[in-house]
Amino acid sequence: MPRSNLLAGLDILLIEDETMVSFLIEEMLEQLGAASVRHAARLDAGLALVAAKLPALAILDVNIGGETAFPIAEKLETSGIPFVFITGYGRDGVHGRWAAHEVLQKPLTVAEFEQGLRRVIGH
């Protein structure tokens, strides 16, 4: 049962290359009411998921298998899809044109995750 309806009915895209972290984030998204979570652990797979169907919201680990998720962020930004970066490096892991976007530092609690997502989707 969701602990929040923040993401009720939303299709979420999760880009995360660490399996256990991916499971934990997916569980948090479900606690926040997400209807579905599609995930990828590689850049090419993430780009394919975006091309197949735009999500309502995306969670992007910055470093995925030695590549960055910035090409996915570009596609999402162009399509007007909100997204949040999630990284173990915090703000230091996101620079340049992406520095103004929401960045959440792993590990994080469900409450911290919810607060960051609220800032991104404006609830």
- Report the DSSP beta bridge partners of residue 58: 13, 83
User: Would you call 72 exposed, middle or buried from its count of C-beta atoms within 10 A (0-12, 13-18, 19+)?
Assistant: buried
User: Would you call 110 exposed, middle or buried from its count of C-beta atoms within 10 A (0-12, 13-18, 19+)?
Assistant: middle
User: Tens digit of pLDDT for each residue in 17-45?
Assistant: 999 999 999 999 999 999 999 999 999 99
Q: What is the mean pLDDT of residues 61-86?
A: 96
Statement: residue 2 has pLDDT above 90: no
Confidence band for 61, pLDDT divided at 50, 70 and 90? very high
Q: What does DSSP say about strands 83-87 and 103-105: parallel, antiparallel, or unpaired?
A: parallel
Statement: residue 90 has pLDDT above 80: no
Q: How far apart are CA 121 and CA 123, in angstroms?
A: 6
What's the confidence (pLDDT) of residue 62? 94
What percentage of the chain carries pLDDT values higher than 90?
A: 80
What's the confidence (pLDDT) of residue 123? 65
Question: Could you tell me the residue ranges of all domains in the chain?
Answer: 71-118
